[in-house]
Amino acid sequence: MKLAGKTDVGSVRPENQDDYRAGELNSDAAWGLVCDGMGGARGGREASVSACDVIEHIFHEQYAQCLPGDEERFLKRALINANRFVFQKASREEELAGMGTTAVCALVRGGSAFICHAGDSRAYLVRGGKLTQLTHDHSYVQELVDCGTITAEEAEHHPQKNIITRALGVDYRLDPEFTSLPVQKGDILLLCTDGLTNVLPKEKIEEIFTKGGFYDIPDRLVDAANAGGGPDNITALLLGVEPLEVKHG
């Protein structure tokens, strides 16, 4: 597996409330996580970092118990535990009230990718230079698209695009969404926040993936989003399906 990632404050926001983590589990397995915090000056950063800390700890301490077939249970439990931690922290500290964070988490092993998410941070499969979205946004605008009220094209510039319908920390209960798919050597998983996808169209992201080396891609994605105005924090994390090579960007 290969790993490379970058997060950036962008060109407008005063603080980076995104966070990400990734790690090798063995020569044929790796995991990655991207979070996008929300909720005031302190809250957003606190929510994303806290969620990442909890989920990273679960991978370090409990992954050995994740047997084949247990992936959905393991990933959902990781996000649910992080949700409860962030929610309880927000309940205890008045200045953190209402904070929350999106999360998209991927585990790649045994020729499969397992993805669990809440919110509008996304996972994509890049195969043969083509980008396929793997996650379904948990947002008000996506619900309008799903029921046919607006088109996907109209959703791209909808004024309420930032309203999230599912996130970690905003409610004691959480129902994260899970999906899985087979992967093959040469595939790349892209986990990213909406600071990237709201600025760069699919075609531009595909173009960046066809030029330059694997470890340069996160920097080039961030640079392109900033060149497009960088209105939000930007995070891009790559998991490349190639054995025996790991590097953190």
What domains are defined for the chain? 2-137+166-239 (3.60.40.10)
Are 239 and 248 contacting, i.e. CB atoms less than 8 angstroms apart? no
Burial class (CB in 10 A: 0-12, 13-18, 19+), 14: exposed
- pTM assigned to the model: 0.93
70 vs 187: CA distance, rounded Å: 23
**pLDDT tier at 198, thresholds 50, 70, 90:** very high
The pLDDT tens digits for 81-112 are: 999 999 999 999 988 988 999 999 999 999 99
Q: Phi then psi for 219, rounded to 5 degrees?
A: -60, -40
Interhelix angle 217-227/202-209, rounded to 10 degrees, is 140
Q: Which residues contact 125 (CB under 8 A, 6 or more apart)?
A: 113, 131, 132, 134, 181, 183, 187, 188, 189, 190
Confidence at residue 191, expressed as pLDDT on a 0 to 100 scale: 98
Task: Specify whether the CB–CB gap between 137 and 129 falls below 8 A.
Answer: no
Query: What is the DSSP code string of 70-135?
Result: -HHHHHHHHHHHHHHHHHHHHHH-GGGTT-EEEEEEEEEETTEEEEEEESS-EEEEEETTEEEE-S
pLDDT tier for residue 199 given thresholds of 50, 70 and 90? very high
- Mean pLDDT over 153-171 rounds to 80
Is the pLDDT score of 153 beyond 80? no
Per-residue pLDDT of 37-67, as tens digits, reads: 998 768 999 999 999 999 999 999 999 999 9
- pLDDT, mean over the chain: 92
In this structure, the number of other CB atoms found within 10 A of the CB of residue 187 comes to 18
Helices 71-92/40-62 angle, 10° precision: 140
**Residue found under tokens 């809250």:** 43
205 φψ region: left (φ > 0), alpha (ψ -120 to 50), beta (else): alpha
Instruction: List pLDDT tens digits, range 170-180.
Output: 999 999 999 99
